[in-house]
Structure 1
């Protein structure tokens, strides 16, 4: 006699679960449709990130005939950006499509870890690049970063990024996500509510301090670098305007200055022998043809070398500025999210797409660099054009 009520109770539970599951699916489908514009943007991020950074890796790593230390970090940064655009973009799409049906805790933890790791790696690489440019431009007489130091710095950044991202696996997972009136409860990949709040807050503080410290150091370095470059070109213009008044009595001093400038560059001045129409030229009076030729060649080589150093410095400065613009909104939202555990539940379905777009705008940092290289580095632009020619493409398939 007791079997029938039990069966009815089990049937009622199954029917309730089915009804709730169906309601969650309908709710998830509704949210996913609202987020379609965001999904399209993320898909564009992935496409541009893969195409652009893959091109950078191929060109700088395999096609550049001239190896310059100024370009050392570019392929490494491109690998990090490629991973960041792919992982973070695909993770964002998955979250958009499974707003209320993200049930795999392991997948959630793994995705959060790799997303955090790639972003921390990019930040640390930009910090290393800023440090290297600061030493090269502002402290040329001090010890510079050699090949060993650069490899060590990249290895340390990899280790620090890994250690910094590891705790995130204990903080995130699949959590209950109720709708506005609490009638439907889904699951989403988000911060776990049962985790010790003190540890969560401590981790958030450490990460925020690390990001803000890195940003502050980069801003400080590039302000100093920018001032140094400005003073250099200002003095350069002044020296050219008075260059016609030079006589042979100051040739020795000029040659000494030229030698000093060359020694602060990438290496031997003869590394950059190509002509540069942008370089102003003048001819001091009272010099023999032989001495004039020697000074002219040395001045041209030193000037080209110095200009290349400053050009790459400005290029990396632009990369860092765009990084700051794209990352600051993310940092602000991370702080607000840490202070308010119900941050994401307080938004309506129509407000969520805009917040998510701002939250994921940091991915722009992973896709914009190839466009800066194409704009600033003439050798990269030339090699990319040759890479995309019909003969070059046909040779790959042979």
Structure 2
């Protein structure tokens, strides 16, 4: 996390007259206002992140934690991810807004350290929740008969994720601090402050090791996410091909069942005709039989027994077919819901990778060049700062994706707001 701003003074458009005595505070305000005006579009974007992230993630938590029915196992981490995204969005966007509006006047050392610490902590925890969700989906779809995540394991994972985030973020308390911008004093004789990592050459090695560690952890997350969702995508593709083949088999089976039912109906009709014919013959034969009438009773009951047996067989086959069809429909519906949820997580993870990519690149640039922000041209400063804060978009996108793609989430939202009305 870097909140430093050092304008390219050879390109700044603030006009000053060295021979005119100007109050240092007024001059600092003039420089600060000019740079803040340049960064105003980014400030508006950060306000958008803050409002949408707060409202959207609050809605997700409300929908999942206020419901009376127990939460489904595959959605256990969703409200927790929303909570981490909400806190991360508020901390990162709020700190960024202050940094854009006071680019040369960030003189609160405690605020600087806490902003760096909390920003890294909740960004790491949020990213690790995405990682755990990917692993859980991988186990469910690619290892369905293996050991699954129980509630106890999930709670233990939450503790481990939190501790790991603390390990990664605690060093930021010692690395980031408020420092004076030397160029402002050297060129204009005024004090300007920025929140940045210390440029003490004696601690340069430790800073480099820390940033390399963050870089390695981020790349490791990317690799694991690619592995999990790559295998998941392949399994979904194979299941789709299998369903297509099974669909053709089911259609053939249905046609066979229908023809069998027709044949059974025809046989029942024939039995009825035979029964009626046999009844007329029984009348004729009744004069020829003995006084006990055994032959007449036998001939009269045989067709009736055959027709009843055929009806029972037909009804049993129809009930079995309908039961199999209903089970298949329920399984197909559950599979579609599971696949839809997996696609949602794949999309969210893809957005995470895209939004964190520029952050990783700028992290490398800052590690290689300690004065990176001082060398950025004035005309490109807004673009670079936008790329530097683009990772916050990952914290606001989840509710948007749920609202567009998750039918169950939309239904729950509608139910909640209908009750409120």
The answer to whether structure 1 residue 336 and structure 2 residue 365 are counterparts is yes
- The alignment's C-alpha RMSD in Å is 2.4
The answer to whether structure 1 residue 191 and structure 2 residue 184 are counterparts is no
- What is the TM-score when the length of structure 2 is the normalising length? 0.77
Residue 118 of structure 1 is aligned with which of 122, 126, 132?
122
What corresponds to 1:347 in structure 2?
Answer: 376
Residues 301-357 of structure 1: CA deviation (Å, up to 9, x unaligned): 222222222121111111101111111111111111111100111123332111111
What corresponds to 1:23 in structure 2?
Answer: 27
Q: Secondary structure at the match of 1:145?
A: coil
Task: Return closer, same or farther for 1:189/1:117 CA change in 2, 3 Å cut-off.
Answer: same
Question: Take 1:47 and 1:179, find their aligned partners in 2: how far apart are those partners?
Answer: 36
What corresponds to 2:308 in structure 1?
Answer: none
User: How far off its partner does 1:106 sit?
Assistant: 1.1
The answer to whether structure 1 residue 219 and structure 2 residue 226 are counterparts is yes
Question: Take 1:29 and 1:191, find their aligned partners in 2: how far apart are those partners?
Answer: 24
The answer to whether structure 1 residue 152 and structure 2 residue 152 are counterparts is no
Task: Return closer, same or farther for 1:64/1:339 CA change in 2, 3 Å cut-off.
Answer: farther
Residues 265-291 of structure 1: CA deviation (Å, up to 9, x unaligned): xxxxxxxxxxxxxxxxxxxx9980121
The answer to whether structure 1 residue 97 and structure 2 residue 101 are counterparts is yes
Residue 325 of structure 1 is aligned with which of 354, 365, 379?
354
What corresponds to 1:356 in structure 2?
Answer: 385
Q: Secondary structure at the match of 1:188?
A: strand
- More contact order relative to length (CA 8 Å, sep ≥ 6): 2
Residue 85 of structure 1 is aligned with which of 83, 86, 89?
89
Q: Secondary structure at the match of 1:173?
A: strand
Structure 1 gaps, min length 5: 1-15, 250-284, 394-398
1:248, 1:287 within 8 Å by CA — same for their partners in 2?
no
Question: Take 2:56 and 2:43, find their aligned partners in 1: how far apart are those partners?
Answer: 20
Residues 172-213 of structure 1: CA deviation (Å, up to 9, x unaligned): 111122448941341101111116011001111111100100
The answer to whether structure 1 residue 44 and structure 2 residue 48 are counterparts is yes
Residues 101-146 of structure 1: CA deviation (Å, up to 9, x unaligned): 1111111001111111110011111110010000000011110101
Q: Write out the 4+ residue segments of structure 1 that deviate beyond 6 Å after TM superposition.
A: none
Count of matched residue positions in the alignment of Structure 1 and Structure 2: 343
Question: Take 1:359 and 1:64, find their aligned partners in 2: how far apart are those partners?
Answer: 41
Residue 409 of structure 2 is aligned with which of 380, 383, 387?
380
The answer to whether structure 1 residue 392 and structure 2 residue 415 are counterparts is no
Residues 23-42 of structure 1: CA deviation (Å, up to 9, x unaligned): 22211111111111111100
Structure 2 gaps, min length 5: 1-19, 257-313
What corresponds to 1:236 in structure 2?
Answer: 243
- What is the TM-score when the length of structure 1 is the normalising length? 0.81
Q: Secondary structure at the match of 1:183?
A: helix
2:184, 2:192 within 8 Å by CA — same for their partners in 1?
no
Q: Secondary structure at the match of 1:321?
A: helix
1:34, 1:350 within 8 Å by CA — same for their partners in 2?
no
Residue 212 of structure 2 is aligned with which of 205, 213, 237?
205
Larger radius of gyration: 2
